[in-house]
Amino acid sequence: MKQLVPTDEALIARIRRHDNDALEQLVSRYEVRVYNLAYRMLGNREDAEDVLQDTFVNVVRGLDKFRGRSSFSTWLYRVAANAALTKIRKRSRREKSESEFLDDVYSVRETAHSGSLLTDWSSNPATRLLDEEAKNEMNRAIDDLPEIYRAVFVLRDVEGLPAAEVAEVLGLSVAAVKSRLHRARLYLRNRLSGYFTAE
Amino acid sequence: MDCQEIFEELSEYIDENLARQKCRELERHLETCHNCRVVVDTLRRTVALYHSMPDEEVPEDVRLRLHKIIRLKPEE
């Protein structure tokens, strides 16, 4: 007979009764998602491992306070994104300022208006677009986004959350999510254009 | 719609969230504007490339350590 997969809520109810099997199941269900969110936001495995651990320790400690107003996964993403943002803020590395970033974002508009023709790399062979070197460049480009743009982009376009859920996770309006997402995408498009059209 | 206006609507366009009328105007512009067409196509490709990035596996030792750390104690 087919076994029913327990919902997050059912597992949480069992965890509240100190059921370690339920906790194992819940963590196994989400650990890859949390690890990948942290890895894309922080750009290295060591920091992603710390965030993975901090997130689940905080979730287990805070489970009594979780009232189910948002779904468990939204709450979990919020704890994980905050842990990753805290880690980014502790770094000594200088982040790109908002104005530098916006200059980069809108540089394509100036080029497009200057009359010179933009190069289309969108039909380049997939082997070239997805090779190891290209993936490294894609990760470096995410890492150069200012933190809030990075969080929005990773949650929406890498993790695939709907804009409304990204807004709930990050405490932003849907309009702010969409505007930041658009700028992040334009910035990354510019970076990849530079990379894929370089001689 | 001119290039400036188009530029701000491109994400909504590729996410298929644009109202029908605006969508039609944008597509009419794309038929004649090479640069806007390139930006749309490469923006769409950028999003698709990031979306198709394979997941990073959680290293086994990290996974085991995590499961050990969070185990609930009976008296908790």
Question: Quick check: A70 and A169 in contact, CB under 8 A?
Answer: no
- Helix H, strand E, coil C: the string for A113-127 is HCCCCCCCCCCCCHH
Q: Is the pLDDT of residue A3 over 80?
A: no
Question: Where is average pLDDT lowest: A59-68, A171-180, B42-51?
Answer: A59-68
pLDDT at residue number A71: 94
Residue B45 to residue A129, Cβ atoms within 8 A: yes
The CATH 1.10.10.10 domain(s) of chain A lie at 98-196
Burial of B3 (0-12, 13-18, 19+ CB in 10 A): middle
Q: Look-up: residue for tokens 């059912």?
A: A10
Q: What are phi and psi of A160, to 5 degrees?
A: 80, 25
Chain B residues with CB under 8 Å of A193 CB are 42
The percentage of chain A sitting over the pLDDT mark of 70, rounded to a whole number, equals 98
Chain A residues with CB under 8 Å of B43 CB are 185-186, 189
Q: What are phi and psi of A106, to 5 degrees?
A: -95, 5
Q: Look-up: residue for tokens 């906790």?
A: A23
Crossing angle of helices A45-62 and A72-90, in 10° steps, is: 130
Contacts of A145 (CB under 8 A, 6+ apart): A96, A101, A153, A184, A187, A188
Rounded distance, CA B65 to CA B61, Å?
A: 6
The predicted complex's ipTM stands at 0.92
Domain range annotation of chain B: 3-69
Residue A32 to residue B11, Cβ atoms within 8 A: no
Rounded distance, CA A5 to CA A164, Å?
A: 26
Q: Which residues of B touch A (CB under 8 A)?
A: 3-4, 7-8, 10-12, 34-39, 41-47, 49-53, 55-59, 62-63, 65-67, 69-72, 74, 76
Average pLDDT in the A147-175 region? 96
CATH architecture of B3-69: Orthogonal Bundle (1.10)
Task: Summarize pLDDT for B11-38 with one digit per residue, the tens.
Answer: 999 999 999 999 999 999 999 999 999 9
The CATH 1.10.1740.10 domain(s) of chain A lie at 8-90
Rounded distance, CA B55 to CA A36, Å?
A: 7
pLDDT at residue number A1: 63
Residue B70 to residue A182, Cβ atoms within 8 A: no
Question: Quick check: B12 and B44 in contact, CB under 8 A?
Answer: no
Give the CA distances from residue A167 to residues A59, A152, A175, A185, in Å, rounded to whole numbers and listed in that order.
Answer: 20, 8, 9, 17
Q: Is the pLDDT of residue A115 over 90?
A: no
Rounded distance, CA A33 to CA A43, Å?
A: 15
Does the domain at A98-196 match CATH 1.10.10.10? Answer given as: yes
Q: Which CATH number fits domain A8-90: 3.30.565.10, 1.10.1740.10, 2.60.120.380, 1.10.150.530?
A: 1.10.1740.10
Rounded distance, CA A57 to CA A38, Å?
A: 15
Residue of B nearest to A136 (CA): B53
Q: Is the pLDDT of residue A64 over 70?
A: yes
| A-to-B residue pairs, Cβ atoms closer than 8 angstroms | 115
